[in-house]
């Protein structure tokens, strides 16, 4: 009986080997496919990146990504870094400034970058009495070279003095300001003389 089975098997293999290569592969794939487990239709979210596990970027908050650190400050200073590069550091970081003509500084530090670009700051009144929210009241830009790891923006009010109220600064990065260059938003408050609460923007 065993010899009979062996003979049938040999005849079967001899017949298969005599077939053209393409036909042989086709028959072999059909025979082996019966042993392969079938996979039912799987919903796309089960094997693609799940959106619920990713955090959405908030352009209305301080910028992240390329920015390692960014703060508002009353000034800045230059220090010699450990790589003997000049690093800009904030002096008196704060989000509240007195009214008047003093500048508001935004000091930032970058992660490693591989090309030069510009950083722009566009300042608008958010809650300031007598000023429309779309009025550009201050702006500045700084060119960031390939070796630069820090930088700053210096905001002066274009209409004389800072008026008491709340302001926002759109931070853009790139060659120019456009719809795709926005990186985030910084906010600060200008307090009135003698810290009078009634003088801080009407609501």
pLDDT band at 20 (very low <50, low <70, confident <90, very high): low
Q: What is the mean pLDDT of residues 42-71?
A: 79
Going from the C-alpha of 43 to that of each of 49, 51, 54, the distances in angstroms are 12, 14, 19
- What is the per-residue pLDDT for 126? 97
More confident residue, 23 or 114: 114
- What is the per-residue pLDDT for 82? 63
- What is the per-residue pLDDT for 135? 95
- What is the per-residue pLDDT for 159? 81
Domains with residue ranges and CATH for the chain: 2-33 (no CATH), 67-199 (2.60.40.2550)
């Amino acid at each position: 009986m065993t010899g009979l089975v062996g003979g049938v098997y040999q005849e079967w293999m001899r017949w298969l080997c005599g077939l053209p290569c393409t036909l042989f592969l086709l028959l072999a794939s059909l025979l082996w496919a019966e042993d392969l487990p079938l996979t039912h239709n799987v919903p796309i979210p089960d094997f693609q990146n799940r959106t619920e596990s990713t955090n959405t970027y908030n352009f209305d908050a301080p910028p992240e990504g390329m920015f390692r650190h960014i703060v508002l400050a009353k000034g800045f200073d230059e220090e010699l870094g450990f790589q003997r590069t000049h690093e800009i550091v904030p002096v008196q970081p704060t989000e509240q400034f007195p009214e008047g003509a003093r500048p508001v500084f935004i000091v930032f530090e970058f992660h490693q970058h591989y090309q030069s670009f510009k950083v722009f700051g566009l300042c608008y009144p958010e809650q300031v009495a007598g000023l429309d929210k779309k009025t550009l009241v201050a702006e500045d830009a700084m060119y960031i070279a390939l070796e630069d790891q820090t930088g700053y923006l210096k905001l002066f009010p274009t209409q004389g003095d800072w008026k008491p109220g709340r302001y926002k600064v759109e931070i853009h990065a790139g060659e120019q300001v456009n719809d795709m260059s926005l990186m985030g938003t910084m906010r600060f408050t200008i307090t009135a003389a003698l810290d009078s609460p009634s003088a801080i923007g009407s609501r």
